[in-house]
Amino acid sequence: MLDTLLPILLFSALLLAAIGAVRRVRLWRQGRPSSVPVIKGLMQVPRRYLVDLHHVVERDKYISHTHVATAGGFVLAALLAIVVHGFGLQSAILGWVLLAATTSMFIGSLLVAKRRSPPPSRLSKGPWMRLPKSLMAFSLGMFAVTLPTAGILPEGVFQSGLGWIAALVLAAVIVWGLGEMFFGMTWGGPMKHAFAGALHLAFHRRPERFSDGTGGEHRSTGLKALKLDDDNAKLGVEKPADFTWNQLLGFDACVQCGRCEAMCPAFAAGQPLNPKKLIQDMVVGMAGGSDAKYYGSPYPGKPVGEHEGHPHGPIVARQGTSLVDPETLWSCTTCRACVEECPMMIEHVDAIVDMRRFLTLEHGNTPNKGAEVLDNLIATDNPGGFDPDSRLHWAADLNLPLMADKQEADVLLWLGDGVFDMRNQRTLRAFISVLRAANVDFAVLGNEERDSGDVARRLGDEATFQTLARRNIQTLSRYRFARIVTCDPHSFHVLKNEYGELGTAQTPADYHVQHHSTYISELVSANKLTFKAWKGGSVTYHDPCYLGRYNGEYEAPRDVLKALGIEIKEMARSGYRSRCCGGGGGAPITDIPGKQRIPDMRMEDVRETGADLVAVGCPQCTAMLEGVVEPRAGIKDIAELVADALIIETPADQSPQRQQAPAAPRPALEVAS
Amino acid sequence: MSDLIRRDPRKEWIARNRLHPQHQDVLAEQGGGTKAFEWMGPNGVMRKNPHAVGFIGPNGVRRIDRSGAQQAAQTPGRSAETKDTRQRITIDQPAFMVAVVPDMAGGRLSSHDRDLLGLARQLADADPSQPGAVLAVVFGEHKETAFGEAGADRLLHLEGERFSGYLPELKVATLQGIEREVAPRFWLLPDSTLGGGELGRRLAARLGERPAAQVWQVENASASPTGWRCTARGAAGRDDIIRALPRVVLALAECADPVSETRHAAEPISLSQGLPDVLGRIEDLGEVAVDPASVSLAEAEFILSAGNGVKEWEGYHHAAEVLGATKGASRVAVDDGYMPRDRQVGATGTWVSARVYVAVGISGAIQHLQGIQSCEKVVAVNLDEGCDMVKRADLAVIGDASAVLAALVKRVEQYRAEQQENRNAA
Amino acid sequence: MPHNATSSTPGGLNVAVLVSIGRHPLTARTRRADQDARAVEMALTLDGASVSLIHAGQQEREHEEALRGYLGMGIDTVNLIQQCPQADVVPALADALRQGAPQLVLSGARAETNEASGVLPYLLAEALGWPIITNLAAVEKVEQGMATVLQALPRGKRRRLRIRLPAIATVDSSAPAARQSAFGPARRGALEHLDAASDIDEALAAWQVQPARKRPKRLKIVKSSSARDRFKAAAAKADGGGGQTLTDVTPEQGAEAIFKLLKEEGVLR
């Protein structure tokens, strides 16, 4: 009986899966068009999965091994089951392999079950709790029906008295297993991640994130520009169908593993954001319905089941509730911790900014001080609304060389809007003294500089960002410089990764941009700086998101600190897992209340290391961390630490008038030594 | 007491003669105090005994405070009664009139009003051969007694029930009546919101005169048809418009110096014709109580700001109400949920420009200090003497915030009670 | 605090808002004028009101950008009455209002460019024979040809007024802040051009306009017979620099010192 039943079951499950797949694809294709190389993408799935994705999964060894056993076992078992039981190929060897595959899958499912007893809070419950059992059902069922094929049990064992009952039980178990594994894969069970995930890897909207075997950095973090030339086009994402289809596909790939949730600073601070829930809400919106069937952690303070959406209904309602509340979108600090952690390489930040763009550009609903900041950026080119002609007032005594006078310099020092902030002026002064000590040929734009547009862009005001960026590009195109150095990782990121797209043939915007820590590190390696021995207390280092996760610069700041003779007491969360200070993405401007503040949590991380001082490399981080109530560790920018430790060889070096003069004797000294 | 200096040559002689047995006694008597260090010399010049003045400094050296602060407290109030030296001026037959409609905020001439009267005097007195008279037009009840000292020659007081409340239409019709009867050469009004600013514009529109608004300077100019030239702010304060002085002038505070050298008659006059009846299209339904906390921080002129050091929030809120201050807060107080976010002062909150900023229990993070840069006077109440806010403050009181606030509330309530009594007495 | 506003007028209230070209105080870039934008905001928060925006001026690229700032608040059209640069816009605006016959006309108290004397609403009121009120803070209700409104007084106080419609009202910075101007609606909104004859404002030619000079600060003049008092008064500024710190004082002494300062500054009322 099983011989006839199994093929029927298998093929009907496959057929249903195929129907489900078509239905799922149609759901995705509701999104806006986005052209992707279909064949090339599909061809790259194995590599992307086994190399790039595995690299992320591997951070959790346990689940990595579990997944290899389970998924590997399943893929093999499913293929062989179709061959052996579907087409009835009675090969003992294949039978043995199939047995091995199901065994591997079974062991994997035991590990899955173990991890879920009890499940950690970041994992979703509901149908996901059934998954280990379903995996076992499939593997055990397949194992049992394959025993005769492999010759372990006699042929026809399922046809006699007791065998009949066993056969019926087995058939039921296999129906369960097939239902979950084949039918559920495309109709929306936990196994959906396998189907959607594989295609998501193939048609990812940022193919640059995947390695191509030639080595090098595979990082793609700059936001994509919004086309503003069509007057009638809707700007940003209003409803789920306004996402591109491959974004929708990406949302569908989510495995609800909750790694993003565990890393999200806003979630930890009790702000109403949970990246996992947000992605699931997008899936709900794409299919239509309410979020009542979501079984993970909710947005803090917002019960599940009160929101619902539709592919062509608004995600954020002007009044009342819809799919997502605006506070959720404005809680994000764009720190990218979720994206960095996501084993499915889902782009949460892109989605959030897309929706913010609609809220700002079409609704005009940037919360709290957002509107004021954007108005200031439009009217005065800086978020504080200061007189743009007072950009250099803080440096009246420094005699900074202006690009307008020099036309050409080795280093263009991008000062950023920190020029209006008294705290940041200290950092800038420190860095300028470092540059002077190293006899660097540098110049600043002075009043010609404008805000880089970072804040405007994260607040969704793409129009203001593009205006600011184009004007900055225009200004920069007038001068010749080898590189741009800045103390602000946000300007750094925008200049390096987001201006390029806005450059034109006449005014290309591909600059060699460096963060000041990178540049100081270069100066140190070139022996341009000499330091006193470090006499301060213990120091830890806080990785700015826009320097670390966005641009992969983890080492240079640490090298500089090392060169100062500082041994860094690393925080538990550092490097790519560094916790955000809460200052990015316009979060201090939109200021969504939570249970605690993100910088307080970060200073708690610092406290745990027992360090007396946190070294930072970002004006936002400095401001946010210094805002934590004392007693707390001191906060100093790397430039300040370096400037404090400088040994300036001759006092004359410092005076700006004789800036160029000492350049000559230096090589002689080096030769002599 | 007579101002004549009565001399006693014998005592003067004793005071000069240190060897005289009565020397000390005479000095003491002449000095007026217990310790004789200063007395009136023979020519009415004050004489000092340097041995008797000063104090022993920290190093055991005698120090004399020459700023006068020491003596000022001790000298008997001989010069307290100064004679009113101002010249009394009466203009009986004015060649023309300059009308001023003061705001009379609180029933008294404000300093803005006095500046306007000063400006009116300039216009009236320019040609000594043909002196003009300054007419002050006052609506409703008032408590002012010094119109003459402020420079008004004539006072037209429009009294009665009819003029209480917000009655711009009646007022402008009345001014129109004055225009018909008196025909002043100039109408001067303070360019204040809800006062002269409004009334003056109404008047100008009614008279068909193009007014000069936001005038801050008026100069003689023979070339101008009116003989005067004014400088007015235009384009929201970005431009200066220099033009002939028109008949209706809306002037800013400090457009001229107030009258101080002369006294004028402030002779009451009245209109010969009755007041016009105006069909009121605007009806005043009275003032509405509004929460003082709702005044936006950026506009507030008096802010009581609370920080981490405030432990008793009830007391703080009560103090803000009693003082009539707008509430502000440091970032920490907002983060801890004691104050709403729109009350946050500082670089990350609101930049304020209050006349007086009282920081209670705020240590003064740099972002906060940036936000209060343009405040005129800063008062700090803090336990920590070394904190940055105390360094910034014009007045710092080191002590427990709640205790100081409670004492301040008591003091202000006492002051209010006194004022009430005075008012009742008057 | 916004007590906003309901109108029970059948068929909705017809509100016209006069808008002008603003100029940022620091950078002089054109923008929507702050007070006019507040007037638009007030009109938009009136329940069931049909709002029309009127601007009299030139059709220029820079001006268009500024007018689009109002469109971005969710307005479909701005009626642009074309006038030459030296025109006196009062007759044209009065004509337009007479024709449009709105029940309520809102505008900012004062423009941000040119003369900015703030007289225009009064001239219009005089020309149309309509009542005018200033410092409008909120419209509470509109019924039977009467509007009940709140007028802002200094220091956050309010006065309730009833005014017969049609009327003109000006708002200033005490009115609720204008909503954000969104980029999308701003560029999709339309500017409808209306032609009108320009009356040349002749007085302008006789004026001399120059960038504002800083006003001299008035010195404290102390009329005192004593040289010491005069000297002290002249030097008074100097001792303001260093703050006074009272340590080891009782709360009462501290309070007394603060009280004295508050009284001197005149913030206690």
- Predicted confidence at residue C36, as pLDDT, reads 94
Q: Is residue A165 very low, low, confident or very high in pLDDT (cuts 50, 70, 90)?
A: confident
Residue ranges of C 167-206 with Cβ closer than 8 A to chain B:
167, 172-174, 203, 206
* Nearest residue to A278 via CA among A312, A250, A319, A246: A250
Domain ranges (residues) in chain A: 2-192, 240-301+314-363, 375-645
What distance in Å separates the CA atoms of residue B211 and residue B205, rounded to the nearest whole number?
Answer: 9
Q: Which two tokens stand for residue A202?
A: 């193939």
Strands B133-139, B97-100: pairing kind = parallel
3-state secondary structure of A6: helix
B87-269 shares its CATH topology with B292-421: yes
Q: Which two tokens stand for residue A494?
A: 């925008």
Interface of chain A against chain C, CB under 8 Å?
231-232, 234-235, 360-366, 370-371, 374-375, 378-381, 385-388, 461, 463-464
Domain ranges (residues) in chain C: 5-206, 227-265
Out of A464-478, A587-601, C241-255, least confident range:
C241-255
Mean pLDDT of A599-621: 94
What distance in Å separates the CA atoms of residue B208 and residue B203, rounded to the nearest whole number?
Answer: 8
The helix (run of H) or strand (run of E) holding residue A263 is helix A259-263
The DSSP line for C197-259 is: PPEE-GGGGG-EEEEPPPPPPPPPP---S-HHHHHHHHTHHHHHSS-EEE-S--HHHHHHHHH
- Predicted confidence at residue A511, as pLDDT, reads 94
| Omega cis (within 30) before C166 | yes
Interchain pair C225, B166: CB under 8 A: no
Measured between alpha carbons, how far apart are the two ends of chain B, in Å? 28
Q: What is the ipTM of this complex?
A: 0.84
Helices (H), A399-438: 403-406, 422-437
Interchain pair B370, A422: CB under 8 A: yes
| Lookup result for tokens 């701005």 | C78
- Predicted confidence at residue A576, as pLDDT, reads 93
Q: Is residue B36 very low, low, confident or very high in pLDDT (cuts 50, 70, 90)?
A: low
- Proportion of chain C above pLDDT 90, given as a percent: 41
Q: Which two tokens stand for residue B401?
A: 């915030």
Report the CATH architecture of B87-269. 3-Layer(aba) Sandwich (3.40)
B55: pLDDT strictly greater than 90: no
- Predicted confidence at residue C229, as pLDDT, reads 67
Interchain pair C162, B286: CB under 8 A: no
* Shortest alpha-carbon distance between residue C75 and chain B (Å): 26
3-state secondary structure of A130: helix
What distance in Å separates the CA atoms of residue A148 and residue A185, rounded to the nearest whole number?
Answer: 28
Rounded to the nearest 5°, which phi and psi values hold at B136?
-100, 125
Residues of B in contact with A418 (CB under 8 A): none
Q: Write the CA distances from B210 to A359, A411, B201, B205, B206, integer angstroms.
A: 46, 58, 9, 7, 10
- Predicted confidence at residue B85, as pLDDT, reads 66
Helices (H), B78-163: 111-125, 147-150
Q: How many CB pairs under 8 A join A and C?
A: 54
Interchain pair C261, B356: CB under 8 A: yes
Of C122, C173, C221, the CB nearest to B201: C122
The CATH number that domain C5-206 falls under is 3.40.50.620
- Predicted confidence at residue B293, as pLDDT, reads 62
What distance in Å separates the CA atoms of residue C165 and residue C143, rounded to the nearest whole number?
Answer: 10
Class of domain A240-301+314-363 as given by CATH: mainly alpha
C48 touches C194 (CB < 8 A): no
pLDDT tens digits for range A548-561: 999 999 999 999 99
- Predicted confidence at residue B75, as pLDDT, reads 42
A124 touches A294 (CB < 8 A): yes
B231 touches B245 (CB < 8 A): no
Residue ranges of B 54-73 with Cβ closer than 8 A to chain C:
68, 72
C113 touches C62 (CB < 8 A): no
What distance in Å separates the CA atoms of residue A456 and residue A586, rounded to the nearest whole number?
Answer: 8
- Proportion of chain B above pLDDT 90, given as a percent: 23
Buried b (16+ CB within 10 A) or exposed e, A134-173: bbbbbbbbbbbbbebbbeeeeeeebeeeebeeebeebbeb
The answer for residues whose C-beta is within 8 angstroms of residue B18's C-beta and 6 or more apart is none
The helix (run of H) or strand (run of E) holding residue A601 is helix A598-609
* Shortest alpha-carbon distance between residue C142 and chain B (Å): 14
Mean pLDDT of B15-38: 70
Q: Does C65 touch chain B (CB under 8 A)?
A: no
Q: How many CB pairs under 8 A join B and C?
A: 250
Mean pLDDT of B88-100: 87
A659: pLDDT strictly greater than 50: no
The rounded mean pLDDT for chain A is 90
* Nearest residue to A511 via CA among A522, A496, A491: A496
Strand ranges inside chain C, DSSP E: 6-7, 14-18, 21-23, 30-32, 50-57, 77-82, 87-88, 104-108, 132-133, 136-143, 146-152, 158-164, 167-171, 190-195, 199-200, 208-211, 244-246
Q: How many CB pairs under 8 A join A and B?
A: 24
3-state secondary structure of A547: coil
- Proportion of chain B above pLDDT 70, given as a percent: 85
- Tell me which amino acid residue B207 is: L
Q: Does A623 touch chain B (CB under 8 A)?
A: yes
- Predicted confidence at residue C239, as pLDDT, reads 42
- Predicted confidence at residue A548, as pLDDT, reads 94
- Predicted confidence at residue A653, as pLDDT, reads 46
Interchain pair C208, B299: CB under 8 A: no
What distance in Å separates the CA atoms of residue A66 and residue B51, rounded to the nearest whole number?
Answer: 99
Q: Which two tokens stand for residue A187?
A: 């109709």
C78: pLDDT strictly greater than 70: yes
pLDDT tens digits for range A440-486: 999 999 999 999 999 999 999 999 999 999 999 999 999 999 999 99
Q: Does A591 touch chain B (CB under 8 A)?
A: yes
* More confident: A238 or C5: A238
- Other Cβ atoms less than 10 A from the Cβ of A320: the count is 6
Interchain pair A378, C73: CB under 8 A: no
Domain ranges (residues) in chain B: 9-77, 87-269, 292-421
- Predicted confidence at residue B66, as pLDDT, reads 62
- Predicted confidence at residue B164, as pLDDT, reads 77
Neighbours of chain C (3+ CB pairs under 8 A): A, B
B305 DSSP β-pair partners: B328, B359
Of A362, A371, A464, the CB nearest to C184: A362
pLDDT tens digits for range B186-225: 999 999 887 888 999 999 999 999 999 999 999 888 888 8
A658: pLDDT strictly greater than 70: no
B391: pLDDT strictly greater than 80: yes
A26: pLDDT strictly greater than 60: yes
A281 touches A323 (CB < 8 A): yes
Angle at C85 between CA C80 and CA C86, to 5 degrees: 125
Residues of C in contact with A364 (CB under 8 A): 72-74, 179-182, 185
* Shortest alpha-carbon distance between residue B324 and chain A (Å): 27
- Tell me which amino acid residue A124 is: S
- Best of A359, A360, A365, A375 to disrupt the C interface by mutation (most C CBs within 10 Å)? A375
Interchain pair A380, C180: CB under 8 A: no
A390 touches A421 (CB < 8 A): no
- Other Cβ atoms less than 10 A from the Cβ of A530: the count is 13
Interchain pair A591, B341: CB under 8 A: yes
Residues of A in contact with C26 (CB under 8 A): 379-380, 385-388
pLDDT tens digits for range B130-159: 889 999 999 888 888 888 888 899 999 888
A249: pLDDT strictly greater than 90: yes
Of C29, C31, C184, the CB nearest to A235: C184
* Nearest residue to A315 via CA among A274, A350, A358: A358
- Predicted confidence at residue A296, as pLDDT, reads 93
A319: pLDDT strictly greater than 90: no
Q: Assign 3-state DSSP to chain B and report helix, strand, coil percentages, each to 5.
A: 35, 25, 45
Q: Write the CA distances from C77 to A235, A646, C16, integer angstroms.
A: 20, 62, 12
Q: Write the CA distances from A64 to A68, A218, A347, A634, B254, integer angstroms.
A: 6, 21, 21, 40, 79
DSSP state of C177: P
- Tell me which amino acid residue A74 is: F
- Predicted confidence at residue B373, as pLDDT, reads 82
Q: Does C267 touch chain B (CB under 8 A)?
A: yes
The CATH number that domain B292-421 falls under is 3.40.50.1220
Q: Which two tokens stand for residue C5?
A: 């506003």
What distance in Å separates the CA atoms of residue B394 and residue C245, rounded to the nearest whole number?
Answer: 8
- Predicted confidence at residue B260, as pLDDT, reads 83
Residue ranges of C 124-163 with Cβ closer than 8 A to chain B:
125-126, 131-135, 148, 150-151, 153-163
Q: Which two tokens stand for residue A260?
A: 């993003």
- Predicted confidence at residue B305, as pLDDT, reads 92
Q: Does B212 touch chain C (CB under 8 A)?
A: yes
B1: pLDDT strictly greater than 60: no
Of A232, A235, A364, the CB nearest to C72: A364
Q: Write the CA distances from B415 to B105, B110, B314, B410, B420, integer angstroms.
A: 21, 22, 22, 9, 9
* Shortest alpha-carbon distance between residue A430 and chain B (Å): 18
- Predicted confidence at residue A536, as pLDDT, reads 86
